[in-house]
A and B are shown apart, each in its own frame.
Chain A
Amino acid sequence: MTDEYGNIWAYTLKWAYTLLVVVTLMTPVFYVMYISFNENGFGAAEYVFTFDWYRVILEDKLLLAALKDTGILTIITTIIVVPFGLLAAKFYKRTRYKVLTVSLLLSPLFVPSDILGSALLVFFKNLSKTFEALSDWLGNEWFYGWFDLGYMTAIIGLVIYTLPYVFVVILITMGRYREQQTEAARACGAGAWQAFWHVEFPQIRAGIFSSGAFAIILSFNEYTRTSLLKGGYDTFTTVLISQFLNEGMSAQSYAMSSAVSFFAIAVIGSVIIYTLFRSEKLDRLARDKAQPVMSS
């Protein structure tokens, strides 16, 4: 439905502007990637292409340990937040208080990371102390250490951070699904869970997996809340930051940044491309369905 009478030059110009903005946003990252392949690092006069720095970081034990911990956090967060997002989307569809619900679910977006991180830090410390007092009062150690900073507290912070995004993606996906199909499945004898699994899930699967990919990338990349809430161990991002702050931008940090950015872009890029092709198929199906009804 492009405007047929529109000025073709204006259109091209605006397209170019849009692409320019995207490129500008990506430029710093691409530049970092460019530097990461330079044997002489940043600011050197001569550019020598090499994979050396990547080899170095792959052997960095501290980094690998951090990667493992980050991976654990990321996976567990995603396993929790995707079903949460699904439940939240279903809750939203059924509740009468829609505005309130959406506001609550989107509100983590409006609370900056440092503020939320600080508040949660104090909250958890207080909870820990309260539980410890409870334990002392009961005369045992049952409730010790429940909310000490560690995996669980970091995961709670990450789930709060990623929930709005997952919620929105799943909600938009479910927008295309028709509730009648669940009802039809129930009318065929399927229980609530069976109806969801056999009929609804196959149709919203793509959205759920996209939201999962989204959640993985977001929680992997997250820094502030994680650093405040994680306790003793290191995550990828905290290692990265401490390197930045202590050694400045070393060649390793360029390589680390580039590696993880490339990975993230590749994952989302393929999700986008996949949904591109999927959309073609869906459009074709929609066209078929929309054909005028034939008498038969």
Chain B
Amino acid sequence: MSNNNAETVVELDSVDKIEGGRWQPAPPTFLGQVLGENGLGRWALYLPVAFLLLFFLIPLALTYVWSVFERTQFWMKPGFTLFSYINFFTSARLENFLISMGHSAIAAAIAFVFGFPIAVFVRRRIPEVVQHRVILLFILPFMVSEIIRVFALRPVLGRNGLVNSVLIDLGVISEPITSILFTPTGVIIGEVLSFLPFMVFAGFLAMEVVPKYVFEICDDLGAGRIRTFVDVILPLAAPGIFAGGVFIFVNGLGVALLPNVLGGPGAVNAGLIATQAITALDFPLAMAVSAIMMTTLLALLYLGHRLFDLTKILTPFS
């Protein structure tokens, strides 16, 4: 704090007034010193990031390491073996995994078709001040626990469920439809309903990047609705749509609950394989499945970034 000039070396905290008598700094408190900007406080800002680094990034990175360990009866021991991967790729699990990927992709596409128009509608036709409140409506289903929402589909889609009862009462069908629940259809429906709010949010965020005047220009130029959509909206909103799609796809693959509850016998996804492996105490296998999932996710994100420059989604946050 003191400068090099010998005659004015003073520790300012101990000076009461400047000659002329006007200024007194507020006395430093002990707590203020310790926690303040020059003490621990400076490091506080790094806390959340450090936390995520330690308990999120590192464990996920380590799944690659653990996936090549050897399995022991109750745990695993360090080594290098591709046994778990070979086990995975040569068993029926691989086939199921790929099938579940297909299902997730379908779910993502359906969610896009049903959810994205809502985001466009809200962004385009609803007054700006009200937009956020309308979007908030979609938080409501999200506030109910996912497990409840998923299990609740059983009484709705089942043989004696709501859908069948209503359809029979209306006379549309005479026999209950049994091919909705405990089938891939059920899983896909479950995925769509669980994650549709996210697609609406992602779509809305994506649309925030599209300024309103773009629509007005399109109208001015006489572009039809479809042309506007395909040529203008899609490219501008692509990063957000892609992010939403990846979100649904990855969660569809990774949430064990969905095939477990809604799928037929033998229905699995990556998440279910992983948790089953853990229950069977085959940890390297669980880690291998996790590693494969992470790789898929990273590959998708990288692909999206090359195609769309995903960083554009983050502009509303600046």
Contact = CB atoms under 8 A, between A and B. Distances in A.
Task: Give the residue among A22, A105, A108 with the most B Cβ atoms within 10 A.
Answer: A22
B281 to A, nearest CB: 11
A224 interface: yes
Given A116-B60, A192-B36, A223-B257, A91 B129 contact: no
A79 B266 CA distance: 41
B135 to A, nearest CB: 10
A156 interface: yes
A193 B40 CA distance: 13
Contact of A114 (B41, B145, B274, B317): B274
B141 A191 contact: no
Contacts of A167: 48
Nearest to A43: B160
A272 B133 contact: yes
Contact of B51 (A159, A191, A217, A237): A159
A53 to B, nearest CB: 15
Interface in A253-285: 253, 257, 260-261, 264-265, 267-269, 272, 275-276, 279, 283
Given A87-B44, A237-B145, A156 B55 contact: yes
B247 A260 contact: no
Interface string B118-157: 1001101111110001101111110111111101111110
Given A26-B140, A32-B155, A43-B155, 13 more contacts: A3-B125, A22-B140, A25-B141, A110-B250, A112-B254, A114-B254, A115-B254, A115-B293, A115-B294, A192-B37, A228-B278, A237-B147, A244-B151
Main secondary structure of the interface of B (DSSP, over half): helix
Contacts of B126: 2
B299 interface: no
A119 B290 contact: yes
Interface stretch (A10-18, A56-64, A131-139, A176-184): A10-18
Interface in A223-249: 223-224, 228, 237, 240-241, 244, 249
B26 interface: yes
Nearest to B205: A168
Contact of A101 (B32, B49, B127): B49
Given A43-B160, A115-B270, A237-B145, A160 B56 contact: yes
A193 B32 contact: yes
B147 A240 contact: yes
Nearest to A248: B154
B63 interface: yes
Interface in B63-86: 63, 66, 75
B257 to A, nearest CB: 7
**Band of interface residues on B:** 35 or more
Given A2-B126, A111-B297, A84 B51 contact: yes
B313 to A, nearest CB: 9
Interface in A1-60: 1-3, 6, 11, 14-15, 17-18, 21-22, 24-29, 31-32, 35, 42-43
A187 interface: no
Nearest to B114: A21
Contacts of A125: 75
B144 A264 contact: yes
A85 interface: yes
Interface string A107-126: 11111111111111111011
A91 B49 contact: yes
Nearest to B66: A122
A123 B118 contact: no
Nearest to B153: A28
A29 B148 contact: yes
A102 interface: yes
B56 A14 contact: no
A189 B250 contact: no
Given A17-B118, A18-B122, A85-B48, A223 B146 contact: yes
A203 interface: no
A35 B48 contact: no
